[in-house]
Structure 1
């Protein structure tokens, strides 16, 4: 997929029709992924660009606080210089305001389309603890099952806490282990027992099943939403 640069609206010739074409081409690709129920990384990329132009419009002084992983110092400086030019150049200011106003509206609509898919998937996920949970539930396994088949993806997870803007947030790191087939004999409980027996690094793990009847793409949609939902589930249980 063709990507927008972080400062796409401020680069090159600043012309409304040109930037409009660039944006609509980008959003067309995003919508093609959404039509196929593929959310990531497209949704997070789109949200970044939306927040970026909104922050510029509101003249956020410290853009790096909002986009530390995306914008370089040179790009931040470029945006600041451009904003100063806007104040001095009424024609340029109007052109940029038109570009940003149009872009923000179109992006917001597309984000809403992606959010609807996200919420639909989230509402159709069922998270269930397998067996008795240990006191420490920050590390363990989860089993992801989708559709009507018995194939179950087994993942190891670990939660961590990081601080941003003086607030604490939970992050989850996962690693894929293997695909297992459930049956009358090989239940979730049996899979858990086999993991404990064969993987000595977690002798008493927290284990969860995450199930959905949806047959959506796993890597692009089900897994990212399952991970976020598990973080929320564990956070609520720990509160």
Structure 2
């Protein structure tokens, strides 16, 4: 999978043809991933680049919250200084604006394609609570299944709440615990009871089953979208928006 550096606009030679080459090479990689219906991690990366581009286009500034976790505040501040010098240089800024004008519609088209795939996968996921959902549901179990096989993947999930400048968001962390073959004697309810017996700290654990009703790449589409769909589902029970 081809990557585009977070500082691709300001790093190295600020030349339209050079940046055009970098961008088109990256977007070709995005197209390949989307063509195979593999959404993540490329979709998150694509959205980050597009949002940063729009911020630069509209406000001539960078926004730290839109950068991925791998860039530190110190690294961001260095990048911000570099970009400020670019903004103050009229000739360089003119070249950069030409690059942005070229890149923005291409990013927009790619993001729209990603959204279409995301929505298609999400429409084919069914979420149901297993048994009675307790008052505390910020951690529990996720049963993830693909309808065409007999396996249930069991995850422990934990909801994390974090803030940016404006809002609080819910995120999710999961840990794969086991994969079991389901059958007549191993219903979701029985599996939940078995987990409760094994972990006395959760006598009535919040448990949800997500079933994929169509075939998509598991690691790159079903799993990440199932996690995000569960966060949306749980957010309907709380007061926090979901960060896509």
Give me the TM-score of the superposition, normalised by structure 2. Answer: 0.90
Q: Does the alignment pair 1:148 with 2:160?
A: no
Q: 1:136 corresponds to which residue?
A: 136
Structure 1 gap ranges (5+): none
Equivalent position SS for 2:237? helix
Whole-Å separation in 1 of the counterparts to 2:116 and 2:147: 20
Does the CA-based 8 Å contact 2:48-2:66 persist in structure 1? no
Whole-Å separation in 1 of the counterparts to 2:62 and 2:98: 23
> How far did 1:68 drift?
7.1
1:182-213: CA deviation from partner (whole Å, max 9, x where unpaired): 11111111111111112233222011100111
Q: Does the alignment pair 1:81 with 2:81?
A: no
> How far did 1:61 drift?
4.3
Question: Superposed, which structure 2 residues align to 1:138-177 within 5 Å?
Answer: 138-177=138-177
Q: 1:3 corresponds to which residue?
A: 3
Does the CA-based 8 Å contact 2:50-2:108 persist in structure 1? yes
Structure 2 gap ranges (5+): 240-244
Equivalent position SS for 2:209? strand
Q: Report the CA distance shift for 1:141/1:65 in structure 2 as closer, same or farther (over 3 A).
A: closer
1:52-73: CA deviation from partner (whole Å, max 9, x where unpaired): 2221222354633443733522
1:23-55: CA deviation from partner (whole Å, max 9, x where unpaired): 111111111111111111100011111112221
RMSD: 1.7
Q: 1:47 corresponds to which residue?
A: 47
Does the CA-based 8 Å contact 1:156-1:174 persist in structure 2? yes
Question: Superposed, which structure 2 residues align to 1:32-71 within 5 Å?
Answer: 32-61=32-61, 63-67=63-67, 69=69, 70=71
